[in-house]
Amino acid sequence: MSNDLFSNQQNDFIAQTNLLLKKLDDFIPENELEQFCEDLKSVINFHDKKYYVDADSVISDYDYDLLFKKLKQLEEENPNLITADSPTQRVAKGLNNEFATVAHLVPMLSLENSYNITDLQDFDTQVKKALSENAIIEYIAEPKFDGSSIALVYENDMLIRAATRGNGIEGDEITQNAKAIKSIPLKANFSQYGISKIEIRGEVIMELAVLEKLNKERKKQNEVLRQQNKKELELYKNARNTAAGSLRLKNPQEVAERKLDAILYQIGYAEDTNGNDITNIFESHFKNLETLDSLGFKTPFKEKEIFTSINDVEQFCLHWQDKRDSYPIDIDGMVIKVNSIQQQQVIGRTSHHPKWAIAYKFKAKQAYSKLHNVEFQIGRTGAITPVAKIEPVQLMGVEISSISLHNEDFIIDKDIRINDTVIVERAGDVIPYIVGSLAERRTGNETKIQFPTHCPSCNHTLVKPIEESIWRCVNANCPVQIEEHLIHFVSKEAMNIFGFGEENVRTFVNQNMITDIPSIYKIDYDKVATIEGWKTKSIQNLKDGIEKSKQNENWRLLVGLGVRHIGVTTAKMLAKQVDNLMDFSEWNEEQFLQLEDVGPKVALALQQFFADEENKNLLNQLQKLGLNLSKTETVLASNKLAGKTFLCTGTFPLNSRDDIKKMVENNGGKNLSAVSANLDYLIAGEKAGSKLAKALKIDSIKIIDENEFLKMIE
């Protein structure tokens, strides 16, 4: 669209706006009502696009509200005039009690990620190999927005459905919440291109300024709650998580108040009036973006660039990496695609990512802060972890004030001191990490961090086992350890007690309702009913969850007991060795060493645990309370994977990692927890990461995807 034409259209809308404002108090004849409402809808939608998509405003908030209220009034008085594309229909009334699962028109694939700029050269090489020798290749690069993926379906130009990405095949339907996002058009003129139905993809995001404003409001609310001795509200951690959480709010009105945005960048599927697939109706990704942009969607059309040299793409990525802090939205990298749709089809895709696109992820951001203090926290195994308390610093939309210092050796190696200026980064743009301190900024007021000699909770003398870098409290009655141990016991990885969670454990411990593992199975439910927030249904859910856990396979109990070095894989192996877990009390260290994958450390930990009289007593108590300690005979679905070892990494479109692990075991295979020469198959999903990189270096490991694995057990 030319600038002159756009300018003329804008002037027409502004003129129409002024005319309507003058007529708001006039009597509208019945035969003119429908057209008057259509005019109101038209100008309101224009101003919504200007404000929410173009970040521009040509009307005062007061005048906008007058137009909106007039339209709402007329529709309430004349319900027959309400249409699906009316601005008043963005925020639905009532609550979404649940989100239905819906299938995407075509799978939503992920992108292959790279954190090394030189990987783009490898990408370029692979693209050229797939195309003819003399092919002219255009690359189009655009920011990778750090938001929550969304798929919008329009039919006959109307928005009929919105869904989250989910597992890539299916997602949660969030249509009403999507309609509350004003940068998403309720109506778009796809039919001018012969498109009857279309699914487009993008990201729902929250601008950093909006996140900051929301947190300021929460801080004010917390001041009031603090004065009332009520529980304070958690601050929103970052823009991405807040946007994702907002999409699942039950009340669309709350979604509207979060002021989310949506950036659309991909046509996933399109069909004509006869149902023919016309997804590739436009010849390039550039044209796809241009079309979406012209139809009123917010897109990266202005930010994108086209290149014929991968070296220029690299420079463009590095340029954006340098300017990311000045951008109003969180971006965590750049997306590079082959521009030609025809070439994309030739290059093809794997089961989880297109081969014609790659995401270059930016390096972790860094910031400077002052280290004020170090607190020492106790974990469920007695491990003492130093936690740095720093001057709060904003990093990628997140306020960071606490960072783990891991152990005493970490502190000594990096020479970190109280009052130091420290370098903070978010590893993988997620986990806060102290890179080191700036010795050149020291003033003489810095002091060395003194590691405690006694437990901060129970004052028991700390010990540092040989060949370990961690100090531990070995007092079995340490109050903090008991609480952490109980949290682990009820967790999904261990006993998986439905209705129980970390917060509930802490509440029950504070109320002295549970003091050890057996007390979980003796809870006074009448007392639970006196705690604020606990109703009949939630109490029954907790009771049912606790009772059901008694019938768990005994390996879950072994995990829940928290024996040092024992994870799920080892626990499952151990559970098969005896008829009852109590039998292990008769085993010596040498017997444990005979077991596969059990080394000296694990053997010693097991022998000491099962020889301990208190632990024997605990197992006896649990058995009397009805918990299953006996071996469960499992009937395998097949022996097709017998003698083979597997490790799955990343995320998968059809099954969870836990489900795949169960399939391995049910078909006679064995799951490993790490990449080594003992591994036969690595099942690689999306975002496979370091395990995939390590497996690629070992020739004997076969790397397969989810579909290939499923074929092995057909």
In this prediction, residue 676 carries a pLDDT of: 86
Whole-angstrom distance, CA of residue 590 vs CA of residue 263: 62
Most confident of 240-249, 517-526, 563-572, 648-657: 517-526
- Give me the half-sphere count of Cα atoms (radius 13 Å) on the Cβ side of residue 441: 15
The reply to whether the predicted model has a pTM over 0.85 is no
Is 144 a residue of the active site?
Answer: yes
pLDDT tens, residue by residue, 584-621: 999 999 999 998 778 888 898 899 889 888 889 999 99
Ranges 101-115, 285-299, 386-400, 419-433: which has the least confidence: 419-433
The active-site residue, picked from 144, 197, 298, 572, is: 144
- Distance between start and end Cα atoms, the chain: 54
Question: Tokens in use for 162?
Answer: 């919105």
Work out the pLDDT band at 92, boundaries 50, 70, 90: low
Per-residue pLDDT averaged across 475-491, rounded?
A: 86
Let me know: does 262 contact 245? Beta carbons within 8 Å.
no
Between 116 and 507, name the one with better pLDDT.
507
In this prediction, residue 58 carries a pLDDT of: 79
Q: Calculate the average pLDDT of the chain.
A: 88
pLDDT of 381 strictly over 90: no
In this prediction, residue 430 carries a pLDDT of: 64
pLDDT of 91 strictly over 80: no
Percent of the chain with pLDDT over 70: 95
pLDDT tens, residue by residue, 317-360: 999 988 888 899 988 899 999 999 999 999 998 766 889 999 99
In this prediction, residue 428 carries a pLDDT of: 55
**In the block, which residue shows the tokens 């990266």?**
300
Q: How far is CA 443 from the centre of its chain?
A: 41
pLDDT of 432 strictly over 60: yes
* Domains present along the chain, CATH in parentheses: 3-89 (1.10.287.610), 132-357 (3.30.470.30), 366-443 (2.40.50.140), 479-549 (1.10.150.20), 554-624 (1.10.150.20), 645-712 (3.40.50.10190)
In this prediction, residue 54 carries a pLDDT of: 64
pLDDT of 5 strictly over 60: no
The DSSP secondary structure of 188-238, one letter per residue, reads --GGGGT-SEEEEEEEEE--HHHHHHHHHHHHHHHHHHHHTT-PPPPPP--
